[in-house]
A and B are shown apart, each in its own frame.
Chain A
Amino acid sequence: MPLTTAYQGEIPYLQILDPDGNLDESLAKGTLSDADVKHLYEHMILNREYDDSAFRLQRSGRLGTFPQCKGHEAAALGAARAMRKGHDYLVPYYRENPASFYHGLPMHYILMFWGGDERGNAIPRNISMSPLTIAIGTQGLHGVGHAWAFKYRKEDRVVVAFFGDGATSTGDIHEAMNWGSVLKAPIVFSCINNAWAISVPQDKQTGAETFAQKAIAYGMPGIRVDGNDIFAVYKAHRDAIENARKGNGPTLVESVTYRIADHTTADDARRYRPAGELEAAQKLDPMIRTRKYLETRKLWNDELEKKTWEKAKATVADVIAQADKVSPPDSDDIFNHTFEELPPDLIRQRDLRHTHSIGLNPEEIGLKPQPEEAAH
């Protein structure tokens, strides 16, 4: 008997705004307005300035480390713009600051966090997003859990969970997509493929040509988009979000971009990037084509560019000042938030830190004796 085809799938590729700033009018229809694009471009400038300032703060010893977002701006902002602000739920990993800021996260929180103050990861209640995830890929499952909670409570909220190309190799992302699809959870898996997982390139990460095609095996739609094209990223995410909102389950969107910066300030990508690759990628920088587009539409000029950068510098300077103003946590506070109620043994450990005693004689060191010792 001859072989027949058991399954055949295909993955569309979407580009609306090309690297020269030319727009495919028919595909762009009903997507971003002029005002939207202008606003998003201003956000890109603000984030670039933020990245540069954070880098300098790290080099001057004021941040532990910092992962710059350079190059990801369109991928993060296009997805963020496609969500209903304050309603849909953003699950970032640690390189999507533009999306977090777009959704209203106070910008000094991120500086506090990377400066070593966990309070920077206490997302204000009115911001619809989860804290940054540091462990790779675990947030995909949390995203499915958030989505499940929305479905459970019959709320029409949708989760957008970001993760990188490297995270697709983790079991957690596999299990998240597998079960998310089974549950028809209202979630969009947004894979930001920036070509490098620290020093590991795509062809060492997967045998597949695209990350988007993994969606086929999970039984959900997958699409690959030009991640430097704000229109394409927006449209793919908007369609995926609305599809999820209708109860049709998840979509995997792969936004192909490039990590223009090092992995973090603790990395030096010159050691492993092939010659010429960065320069080629810089030509595809989302900011270049977005500006070109705005200029063609007579919505932008050198004057506005200069003013916006000046404004961004002033904003970021304010943000840094704000972060500086936050009084440092008390060293006893390191015990806070371990449990809802701190158990007696941890109270003892906390109090003993103020002495050099090992706690044999609590009265001698001015500690409140515990009941069993008071008896003697």
Chain B
Amino acid sequence: MTEEMERDENVFLMGEEVAQYNGAYKVSEGMLAKFGPRRVFDTPISEAAFSGLGVGAATMGLRPIIEFMSWSFTLVCLDQIVNNAANVRYMSGGQYKVPIVFRGGNGIAHQLGATHSHRVETIYARIPGLIVVSPSTAYDAKGLLKSSIRCNDPVIFLESEKMLNETSEVPDDPEFLLPLGVANVEREGSEVTVVSYGRTMQRVTRAAVKSLVDEGVDVELIDLRTLRPLDTATLVQSIQKTGRCVIVDEDYGYCGMGQAIMASVYKRVFDYLDAPIAHVHSDEIPVPFNHYLEEAMMPSEERVIAAVKDVCYR
């Protein structure tokens, strides 16, 4: 964010606690001191207000970055994101663009309870006009966030509170960008395609794939990076090659991201499949507050391994 704000005077950051407090999760640490209160400022507890202000400022040529303390809180400002940010370009006959990044923690973090643990990807990914991004490493987060800030469409940027302390090698190059809408084939393999993204990728999928590879299963691992537009070309190509696929996410099953991904590719891979596509997802209950029960409802390494073995008939 700092690099992009240095690069472009029109970029600014607002949200609850982002300035004085340096961010509820310290993401914006030092930014108020560096850029001053004109470009980094606190908002009232009014998600609709700062989303709406962002839309208004973006149509006037600014490029707001809006931090939500949690994506769960955006249920009160869906109108501004879904009805306004996503529709302005279309409903103004292409006259206005809305270059705006909405970012914050998505999904199940750590004992935040049922009201603060929503996974919002399908709420937004189904809306034409919105781009939805979900990084799974610090490297990806940097490249994708910078591309999102430079994007002329509204971007839903899904982070995880649990990943903010993750470290990985990150290029210093201020022009390091990763393209939106392109998935990353993290490991090439021939036997089964495993598809995942975001926190789940980091929490369970990579580890499960490692165990499977150690056992001799030749897994092709795909990190989606962007959920809309979905990189169906990469998925279809991979599944046509392997003939098997397991999708792993922490969303619910019914009407969830995994089902949407499955439906997007099914008719183009059906004739190549050696087994039905499997989907590992969270149990369909409100998220429990209790830590152990919270863990228990989410996909585990064991469940991923079992699903992969299932589709491989091992």
Q: Mark B78-104, 1 if CB is under 8 A from A, else 0.
A: 011001100011111111110000000
Interface residue? A359 (CB, 8 A): yes
Within 8 A of B (CB), among A132-154: 134-135, 138, 140-150, 152
Looking at the complex, which one of A125, A141, A339 makes contact with B153 (CB distance below 8 Å)?
A339
Interface residue? B69 (CB, 8 A): no
Q: Specify the chain B residue showing the minimal Cβ separation from A335.
A: B128
Looking at the complex, which one of A118, A141, A338, A344 makes contact with B49 (CB distance below 8 Å)?
A141
Q: B54 and A145: CB pair below 8 A?
A: yes
Q: B229 and A176: CB pair below 8 A?
A: no
Which segment of B38-46, B169-177, B277-285, B293-301 sits at the interface? B38-46
Interface residue? A178 (CB, 8 A): yes
CA A101 – CA B95 in complex, angstroms? 18
Classify the interface of chain B: helix, strand, loop or mixed. helix
Distance between A371 CB and nearest chain B CB, rounded to angstroms: 6
Q: B44 and A145: CB pair below 8 A?
A: no
Looking at the complex, which one of A149, A178, A338, A339 makes contact with B56 (CB distance below 8 Å)?
A149
Within 8 A of B (CB), among A233-255: none
Contacts of B50 in A (CB 8 A): 179
Interface residue? A115 (CB, 8 A): no
Q: B57 and A145: CB pair below 8 A?
A: yes
Interface residue? B30 (CB, 8 A): no
CA A184 – CA B96 in complex, angstroms? 25
Q: Mark B4-27, 1 if CB is under 8 A from A, else 0.
A: 000000001000000000000000
Interface residue? B211 (CB, 8 A): no
Range of interface residues on A (Cβ < 8 Å): 35 or more
Contacts of B232 in A (CB 8 A): 344-345
Contacts of A148 in B (CB 8 A): 53, 56-57, 62
Q: Mark B92-124, 1 if CB is under 8 A from A, else 0.
A: 111111000000000000000000000000000
Looking at the complex, which one of A118, A179, A345, A373 makes contact with B90 (CB distance below 8 Å)?
A118
Q: Mark B57-82, 1 if CB is under 8 A from A, else 0.
A: 11111100000000000001001100
Q: B79 and A144: CB pair below 8 A?
A: no
Classify the interface of chain A: helix, strand, loop or mixed. helix
Interface residue? A171 (CB, 8 A): yes
CA A172 – CA B46 in complex, angstroms? 9
Q: Most chain-B CB neighbours within 10 Å: which of A120, A125, A145, A373?
A: A145
Q: A143 and B233: CB pair below 8 A?
A: no
Q: A343 and B229: CB pair below 8 A?
A: yes
Interface residue? A271 (CB, 8 A): no
CA A147 – CA B49 in complex, angstroms? 13
Interface residue? B264 (CB, 8 A): yes
Within 8 A of A (CB), among B259-306: 264, 267-268
Q: Specify the chain A residue showing the minimal Cβ separation from B60.
A: A149
Contacts of B12 in A (CB 8 A): 152
Interface residue? B243 (CB, 8 A): no
Q: A337 and B53: CB pair below 8 A?
A: no
Distance between B122 CB and nearest chain A CB, rounded to angstroms: 16
CA A119 – CA B84 in complex, angstroms? 17
Q: B49 and A121: CB pair below 8 A?
A: no
Within 8 A of B (CB), among A313-354: 336-340, 343-346
Interface residue? B55 (CB, 8 A): yes
Indicate whether A175 sits within 8 Å of B52 (C-beta atoms), given known contacts A118-B93, A142-B84, A345-B229: yes
Contacts of B237 in A (CB 8 A): 371-372, 375
Contacts of B59 in A (CB 8 A): 130, 142, 145-146
Within 8 A of B (CB), among A169-204: 171-172, 175-176, 178-179, 182
Q: A371 and B233: CB pair below 8 A?
A: yes
Indicate whether A143 sits within 8 Å of B62 (C-beta atoms), given known contacts A172-B79, A175-B49: no
Q: Specify the chain B residue showing the minimal Cβ separation from A138.
A: B84
Indicate whether A145 sits within 8 Å of B53 (C-beta atoms), given known contacts A338-B90, A345-B229, A372-B268: yes
Interface residue? A360 (CB, 8 A): yes
Contacts of B128 in A (CB 8 A): 338-339, 346
Q: Most chain-A CB neighbours within 10 Å: which of B43, B52, B237, B240?
A: B52
Interface residue? B230 (CB, 8 A): yes
CA A179 – CA B54 in complex, angstroms? 13
Q: B57 and A182: CB pair below 8 A?
A: no
Interface residue? B247 (CB, 8 A): no
Looking at the complex, which one of B53, B54, B84, B229 makes contact with A135 (CB distance below 8 Å)?
B84
Indicate whether A152 sits within 8 Å of B62 (C-beta atoms), given known contacts A141-B49, A141-B53, A179-B49: yes
Looking at the complex, which one of A134, A138, A343, A358 makes contact with B80 (CB distance below 8 Å)?
A138
Looking at the complex, which one of A119, A145, A175, A178 makes contact with B93 (CB distance below 8 Å)?
A119
Q: A372 and B93: CB pair below 8 A?
A: no
Q: A145 and B56: CB pair below 8 A?
A: yes
New A-B contacts (8) at CB < 8 Å, excluding given A339-B131, A343-B181, A346-B229: A118-B93, A120-B93, A135-B84, A142-B55, A145-B57, A337-B89, A339-B129, A373-B268
7 A-B pairs whose Cβ atoms sit less than 8 Å apart in the complex:
A118-B93, A131-B95, A144-B52, A146-B59, A148-B56, A179-B46, A337-B90
Closest 10 pairs between A and B when the two form their complex, measured CB to CB: A145-B56, A141-B52, A122-B93, A343-B229, A149-B60, A142-B56, A175-B49, A337-B94, A145-B53, A122-B95
